[in-house]
Structure formats: structure tokens, C-alpha cells
Amino acid sequence: MKVLISKSKISLRVKALAKQIRADYKGEVPVFIGILKGSFMFMSDLIRNYGLDCELDFMALASYGGSKRGSGIIRLIKDININIRKRHVLIVEDIIDTGTTSNYIREYLILRSPKSVEFVVLLDKADARKVDVDIKYIGFEIPNKYVVGYGLDCAEKYRNLPYICVYED
């Protein structure tokens, strides 16, 4: 596997994103919603660097079913427990590729009447996009390659890598 984004580059970019979010939500208490399992490392580093009062929760959805390609069917496995009505919501994603799942999440959360809903994504794979997704905070734009590490997996492996690699069978 070839390293695409180093641990130090990830760290610097996460700090910059946290600083930007801190400035944008000054005086507010946003709700960070991490999309499991892939976002857990990014979410942890992001909120530690955010450093201000915030709330967090997690959602879990399934669309891959253990393969490297989405099935097109999205299943909600774990819903949020926090009330987001009239709150600023930041959806924290590890990667947005086709946009299908991200679009589903946004539409699902909008039904709960938040003040705003924005995406914070570590990796944007725009070349793979099938559904338009408005992403306010982007860590890195990457090519249309299968990647692992820093929370991203292949059949539940490689999540623990501190960097992002291009996965090759």
C-alpha cells in the first residue's frame, strides 16, 4: 500500500478545520454528528482541536455490506439520541464519494428541524460523485481510488493506520 496522506498532513489539516469551525460558530454550541465507523478517528481529533463547548452524537448506516462498492441500499443502524431541533449540526464524515449516503443523512436530519446542517469531511472523492453534495468543510480532495487508514477500512481492516493509504488487492 502506498501512503497518500501522511499522519502529519492529516494533523495539520484537522487543526485548520477545527479553527475554521470555531470561528464560524463563535458563540454557538454546535452538535457534531459522527458517521460510524469510519469517522471515529477524525471526529475525535476534530473535537479535541475544536476546544470549545459542543455536543456530539453518532449515527451508523450501512451501504457497503463488506464489499468495496456501495449496494445502493442504505440502512440506518444507529440513530442519534440528541435533540437537534433549532441547533447547528455538523455531520462529520470520513469520506464522501458517490454522495448517496451523505445525501440520505442530510435529508434524514433536516426532518428534525435543525437551524443548519453542514458537512465536515476528511476526504472528498468528487470524481466518484453521483449525487450533488454541498460540503462546507473539506480536509483533502483525493482521486477516485480506494483508500484505507485513519478510520477507513477494507472489510474492517486497516482502520488503525495513522495515515491514509491507497488500497490495492
**Is 45 noted as a catalytic residue in this protein?**
no
Out of 57, 79, 94, 97, pick the active-site residue. 97
Q: What angle do CA 126, 105, 157 make, to 5 degrees?
A: 65
SS3 track for the chain? CEEEECHHHHHHHHHHHHHHHHHHCCCCCCEEEEEECCCHHHHHHHHHHHCCCCEEEEEEEECCCCCCCCCCCCEEEECCCCCCCCCEEEEEEEEECCCHHHHHHHHHHHCCCCCEEEEEEEEECHHHCCCCCCCCEEEEECCCCCEEECCECECCECCCCCCEEECCC
Residues designated catalytic: 97
